[in-house]
A and B are shown apart, each in its own frame.
Chain A
Amino acid sequence: MSQPLGRAKGPGPRPHTFLFVSADADQTLKIGEFVVYPVRVDGREQQVLARINEREAIRLYPDGFSADPTVDPNRIAAMVGYSGRTSELFQMTAEVIGYYDEALGDFVNPRIPPRVGTPIWLADNAYLSHVLSRRRVDEQGAGSMGWLLSRPRGEVPVAIDLAAVVSTHLAIIASTGAGKSYTASVLIEEMLRPTTRAAILIIDPHGEYSTLNEIPNARELYGDGYRPEARIYAPGDVRIRVGTLEQGDLRYLLPNVSERMSYVLGRAYRTAEAASRRRCGEADRWTRAELEDAIEKEGENEADSFDRGSANALLWRLRSTVRTGAGHIFDDQEQTPLEELLRPGRVSVMQLSQVDSREQQVIVAALLRRIFTARLRTKNGQVDEGDEFYLPYPVFILIEEAHNFAPSGEDIVTTGILKKILAEGRKFGVGVGLISQRPGKLDSDVLSQCNTQFLMRIVNPVDQSKVREGVEAVGRELLDELPALTKGQAIISGAAVNTPMLCQIRPRYTTHGGAGADAPEEWVRYMGGSNVARRQRESAPLQQPGRRARLFKSE
């Protein structure tokens, strides 16, 4: 082992923290860096791991020594007779994580700070690789997300436990441009390794994940004849049967539904369900036409012209909003089989980029309900192979712009099912990953139930405070780093790792598709010489036979 970098000074300002003093001549003791100190437990020497949370200078030259930028303050100090070697001295506040108990597979906090004068060492790479990550790289269920930020590239790999991610859910929180879709894509790549082969569905409201179609070509993910698959579903490629929509979905989807309309809808909905049950024994096979008929009948049955008006208004809303058939997501009969959307070794990206936000929410609610029901019924042995609710493996659903599906202070169609999955999904093998750039707008309960967190740069104070409230696993000091993180750097915490850590996310195997448009580049390209000439040529009416023809055709 190399030389110690500091010595313990005493207990820290908060429980489980201690202070140590170091000259840190090589500037190795960064915030978030890991250090160790020896302690004897049951007669055996253990290395207690601690993380540096604060760094405070306790010995500095007078400010005036730096008054002239061309003069080295060390020279001034030498001039006035200081020949010592320690012109800078730092006091570090470190948080005790504990010694690693191999049998337990976790850290045990010694619950006592180190004695004054205990030597403090920089934790070595091999030790950190062993104790920080729950899984070894290339082990089954390991997600090699990158490396420890405070160490040189690749020296301490960070491998998360993907089983924990799926069973206890995930949140990726970051400001725009901090790299959340990049990080999510790296996670997807890891989940599709031959050692994991996950079944993943991505809800992609902005079409940022289309480049995941390169996944089948990523040779890094091949193994034992296995090759991951990717399916990109444009809006309209995925079919949701209208019969699976609940009354609440319809009420939410239709614009400006009055109480009277809601009453008529409720009655008509029950009639349509009854018709469906009579026809095929299932309540969720009604068609839009059947619902329309039921609404019309409700209107006719009412003597009051006001009710007839409500029924008509409801019909008009239904026809203009819930479109079924070719090119539309909703369909009377068809629905995309779950085993097609979700299959081990495959990522399905459901693009919703041209879909109205309320429709998006209803689609996601219907899909989540279906997936959850399928897993519940399959797990409980209520369905067999061939049944539309048969889904014989755990699944992971990644939801982009999650604040639109579980908004804070509002109960929308997706909130209930999301909370249900977050609370009960573990039992049935439904994992959810929520991605949001506005945690402040995300429901607190939902955020707090995501037990693994990838936190990237967050500058907005409201969002920061929401993260503080919702993410208990990360200490206040580490969260203070959030605005200082740069692109691709993340705090990974929670169930998938042994302790929160700062991680540099590894480069993707697939191309990144989430980058914002480069407006100046596009403007310059638009005004480029050949483009201007081409546009002038095309817009000159007499030079184009087609245009010329139209001119004379107007008579």
Chain B
Amino acid sequence: MGLSLGKVVKADSHIHYLCQIYGRHEVKADSVPQPHHYALGNFVQIGLGGENGLIIGLIYDTMLLNPDFGNLGPRLSPEHELKIFAPDYLNERAVLVRIAAVGHVAPSGEIFQGVPRLAASSDAEVREMSPAQIREFHRGSDGGLHLAYLPVLLRQTDPLIYDMVQMMLGQLAGLLSEAQRAELDVISDELLWRTQIGPLGGTQ
């Protein structure tokens, strides 16, 4: 099992989830997720509970929650004494990541890529995926590399999508055979051209 990263706190749509990353008061000190665990383009799995399997998602945005932002008024306790006098207040600060659902893994191990039929519930646990799980998720029924969710991602209007996809492809490339990497390069190169050269006037 991969490291537990946080829990689902909100869903903006059937595939867009908001996950609150566990802070140091919520899990053991050695299990606190570090920034590289919830980096942009990382694969995560969201538990559906019971016999429903898992939703596979991709982190496509990061937000910071800080209730102190915009509060310019006087405080009873100075900043360095908040830990003693108002620990709850500190707990309200959090890292939130946006996750786009890109597939589903049934308890039987059957893999589906694309928009999952099932949705996660609030408080559903979000975990990181191991390299073996990522490889398995991308293995098609013919044994070849499978990225059927890519069009779903690219349909998103989020300005970070293309960059996130490049990071995801980069992460994936490191897990694949040379032949599969060549296939991935075709997609990667095409997206790179569209994002880096296309906007400057390159022929597309």
Give residues in A with beta carbon < 8 Å to B: 57-65, 77, 80-87
Residues of B that sit less than 8 Å from A by CB = 185, 188-189, 192-193, 196-197, 200-204
Choose one: B185, B200, B201, B202; the contact of A59 (CB below 8 Å): B202
The 7 A-B residue pairs with the shortest CB-CB distance in the complex, in nearest-first order: A62-B201, A84-B189, A82-B196, A60-B203, A84-B192, A81-B196, A62-B202
Query: Cα distance A77–B202 when bound, in Å?
Result: 10
A80 lies within 8 A of B197 (CB):
yes
B185 CB contacts on chain A under 8 angstroms: 85
B203 close to A85 (CB less than 8 A): no
Cα of A85 to Cα of B196 in the assembled complex, Å: 13
Whole-angstrom CA separation of A493 from B20 in the bound complex: 74
- In contact, A59 and B203 (Cβ under 8 angstroms): yes
> Please, which residue of chain B has its CB at the minimum distance from the CB of A61?
B202
Give B193's nearest chain A residue, CB to CB. Answer: A84
Given contacts A85-B185, A86-B189, contact A80 B196 (CB under 8 A): yes
- Give A78's nearest chain B residue, CB to CB: B196
* Bound: A83/B202 CA distance, A: 15
In the assembled complex, the CB of B157 is this many whole angstroms from the nearest CB of chain A, namely: 21
- When C-beta atoms are compared, the residue in chain B nearest to A60 turns out to be B203
- In the complex the two chains form, what is the Cα distance from A65 to B201 in whole Å? 10
The reply to whether B201 and A63 contact each other, CB–CB distance below 8 Å, is yes
Q: A60 to B201, alpha carbons, bound, how many Å?
A: 9
Q: Is the CB of A62 within 8 A of B189?
A: no
* B residues in contact with A87, CB < 8 Å: 197
Q: How far is the CB of B27 from chain A (nearest CB, A)?
A: 37
A86 to B190, CA, bound (A): 9
* Chain A residues whose CB sits within 8 angstroms of the CB of B189 once the complex forms: 84-86
A472 CB → nearest B CB, Å: 36
Interface centre among B188, B193, B197, B203 (most CB of A within 10 A): B197
What is the chain A residue whose CB lies nearest that of B192? A84
**Chain A residues positioned under 8 Å from B188 (CB to CB):** 84
When the two chains form their complex, are residues A82 and B201 in contact, meaning their CB atoms are under 8 A apart? no
Q: List 7 A-B contacts (CB under 8 A).
A: A58-B203, A59-B203, A62-B202, A80-B196, A81-B192, A84-B188, A84-B192
Task: Give A82 to B197 CA distance when docked, in angstroms.
Answer: 7
Contact A80 B200 (CB under 8 A): yes
Q: Is the CB of B203 within 8 A of A57?
A: yes
What residue of chain A has the Cβ atom nearest to residue B203's Cβ? A60
Contacting residues, chain A, for B193 (C-beta < 8 A): 59, 82, 84, 86
Chain B residues with CB under 8 Å of A82's CB are: 192-193, 196-197
Residues of A within 8 A of B200 (CB): 62, 64-65, 80
6 further A-B pairs in the complex, CB-CB below 8 A; given A59-B203, A86-B189: A58-B203, A59-B193, A77-B196, A77-B197, A82-B193, A85-B185
Closest to A84 in B: B189
Tell me how far the C-beta of B175 lies from the nearest C-beta in chain A, rounded to whole angstroms: 19
For the complex, give the distance between the alpha carbons of A81 and B203 in Å.
17
A60 with B202: CB separation less than 8 A? yes
Which interface residue of A61, A63, A64 has the most chain B CB atoms within 10 A?
A61
- Output the nearest chain B residue to A63 by Cβ-Cβ distance: B201
Q: Which residue of chain B lies nearest to A77 when distances are taken between CB atoms in the complex?
A: B197
Tell me the bound Cα distance from A58 to B204 in angstroms.
7
Q: Which of B188, B196, B202 has the most CB of A within 10 A?
A: B202
B181 to chain A, nearest CB (A): 12
Q: How far is the CA of A65 from the CA of B204 in the complex (A)?
A: 15
